[in-house]
Amino acid sequence: MKKINVLKPVLVSNQQRARENRKVFDKMNSLVINIIGSPGAGKTSFIKNIVTNLKTKYKILVIEGDIKGQIDSKTISRLGVDVIQINTVTECHLDAFMTAQALGRIKKKYDLVLVENVGNLVCPAEFEIGEDYKLAILSTPEGDDKPLKYPLLFHLARVIVINKCDLLPYVDFGVGDAIRNIRKENPGATIFEVAAKTGAGFDKVCKHLEKEIHARKKKNTR
Amino acid sequence: MKKINVLKPVLVSNQQRARENRKVFDKMNSLVINIIGSPGAGKTSFIKNIVTNLKTKYKILVIEGDIKGQIDSKTISRLGVDVIQINTVTECHLDAFMTAQALGRIKKKYDLVLVENVGNLVCPAEFEIGEDYKLAILSTPEGDDKPLKYPLLFHLARVIVINKCDLLPYVDFGVGDAIRNIRKENPGATIFEVAAKTGAGFDKVCKHLEKEIHARKKKNTR
């Protein structure tokens, strides 16, 4: 038996579904961010910081994508915002069809929808889910060469967050080298340096998100 | 268009090819280890330590799987052992067919073949390549909950290495919790704690590998 290449038709079908999801999010006037990074890069801690800083000003929904379990959903739920869990079972990424299932469970309008994808630097980048944009998280212990080794995500992401900057004294990671490597793949990306553990750098990230939430609302009410 | 589920036939076909690869490795009398972990978990640094410790006693080949580039191959080549680079281009894992291509380029017999898979905790676990066994690397900054969130790899791996133990004072990682979580998925796994950056813990890993290399030779010469 030969290997069968079905990625292209699956992706085309996924893109159609992503466009339909997009229409639903547009009706809700939501800014939707698809958050992608390695296992343990700090996606959940990143979301915790955003939620803590913005939950009194904006209605926030978090969609948690995990192969198995509800560890992150429970963490986020404790912050008092709505969370929808998607378990992908064997799939290594969220796709537009799984996201559509979550959409069917949304009963309110949200200003901001944060989607935590499955921890994986490769596959989630290939599947649109109806997001406004992809946000990549790179943590300092992973090394500054990762944008060169996993280029697609860093090429596609509009925002790239360098996390765990509190560990810089203890790991081999050059922030300048990382930024240069990111710029090779994506000259226009907005880059932030944060430490989700301490909250450092989140003032800038939140200011940026607030601008985007308002820009999105203006765009839709035109 | 509907999503087409082709994973099962692809895996069956892959397993057949993996068995053929296995026969080739058997003829060479090689212990073949499929090394899997997240991006930046320390797979290359782990291999560097093994090669440095064992290269004078055994013939070692390293097969490097990367989506793009040759960063790790160049690092390993400098240690004076043979390296074969496989670039998967878009694929998120090595499979038996890609490994077969590397096999075609092997001209000598090796005691130990270390295969560094693409950095990914999910997909590489699903594809056999003809290995003796899978070795999983979990680094402390990733968090001690990863065996529960990415269970397949931790279920299948015969050896599990907890790396970056030098960072334990700076990260939220309980070694006891990690081991408990690993044991839930895999009660019989051999677990090592190391710091690839400092070399700590590699005496035990290398002793274990030496035993396995000799056991493999005995098995094949019976």
Question: Per residue in B12-49, pLDDT tens?
Answer: 799 999 999 999 999 999 999 999 999 999 999 999 99
Q: Is B123 left (phi over 0), alpha (psi -120 to 50) or beta?
A: alpha
Strand partners, A114: A33, A62
pLDDT at position A3 is 45
How confident is the model over A192-197, as a mean pLDDT? 98
pLDDT at position A57 over 60: yes
How confident is residue B2, by pLDDT bands cut at 50, 70 and 90?
Answer: very low
How confident is the model over B154-161, as a mean pLDDT? 98
CATH of the domain at A61: 3.40.50.300
Whether B142 has its CB under 8 Å from any CB of chain A: the answer is yes
Residue A22 maps to a domain: no
How confident is residue B9, by pLDDT bands cut at 50, 70 and 90?
Answer: low
pLDDT at position B34 is 98
Q: Strand runs (DSSP E) across B133-173, as ranges?
A: 133-139, 159-163
pLDDT at position B218 is 83
What's the rounded Cα separation, in Å, for the pair A63 and B28? 50
Nearest to A40 among B38, B67, B90 (CB): B38
What's the rounded Cα separation, in Å, for the pair B90 and A181? 19
Q: DSSP letters along A109-141, please?
A: --SEEEEE--S-SSGGGG---S-SEEEEEEEGG
Q: DSSP letters along B67-119, please?
A: SS--HHHHHHHTTTSEEEEEE-TT-SS--HHHHHHHHTT--S--SEEEEE--S
What is the pLDDT of chain B when averaged over all its residues? 93
Q: Strands across the sheet with A112-116, in order?
A: A82-87, A60-66, A112-116, A31-37, A133-139, A159-163, A190-193
Residue B2 maps to a domain: no
Domain that holds residue B194: 7-214
Interface predicted TM-score (ipTM) over 0.85:
yes
What's the rounded Cα separation, in Å, for the pair B48 and B68? 20
Residue A65 maps to a domain: yes
pLDDT at position A219 over 80: no
Residues 6+ apart with CB under 8 A from B75: B44, B48
Strand partners, B139: B163
Residues of B within 8 A of A67 (CB-CB) are: 122, 149-152
How confident is residue A221, by pLDDT bands cut at 50, 70 and 90?
Answer: low
How confident is the model over A156-162, as a mean pLDDT? 98
How confident is residue B216, by pLDDT bands cut at 50, 70 and 90?
Answer: confident
Residue A19 maps to a domain: no
Strand partners, B190: B159
Residue of A3, A93, A122 whose CA lies nearest to B92: A122
Residue A12 maps to a domain: no
Q: What is the pLDDT of residues A100-140, one digit of tens each?
A: 999 989 989 999 999 999 999 999 999 999 999 999 999 99
Whether A74 has its CB under 8 Å from any CB of chain B: the answer is no
Nearest to B151 among A68, A119, A170 (CB): A68
Residue B222 maps to a domain: no
Residue A67 maps to a domain: yes
Neighbouring CB atoms inside 10 A of B205's CB total 22
Residue A39 maps to a domain: yes
What's the rounded Cα separation, in Å, for the pair B53 and A145? 26
Angle between helix axes B202-221 and B43-54 (nearest 10 degrees) is 70
Count: domains in chain A = 1
Question: From the centroid of its chain, how far is CA A163?
Answer: 13
What's the rounded Cα separation, in Å, for the pair A119 and B122? 9
CB within 8 Å: A4 and B3: no
What's the rounded Cα separation, in Å, for the pair B97 and B118? 15
Whether A15 has its CB under 8 Å from any CB of chain B: the answer is no
How confident is the model over A51-62, as a mean pLDDT? 98
Phi/psi of residue A163, nearest 5 degrees: -105, 170
What's the rounded Cα separation, in Å, for the pair B112 and B31? 5
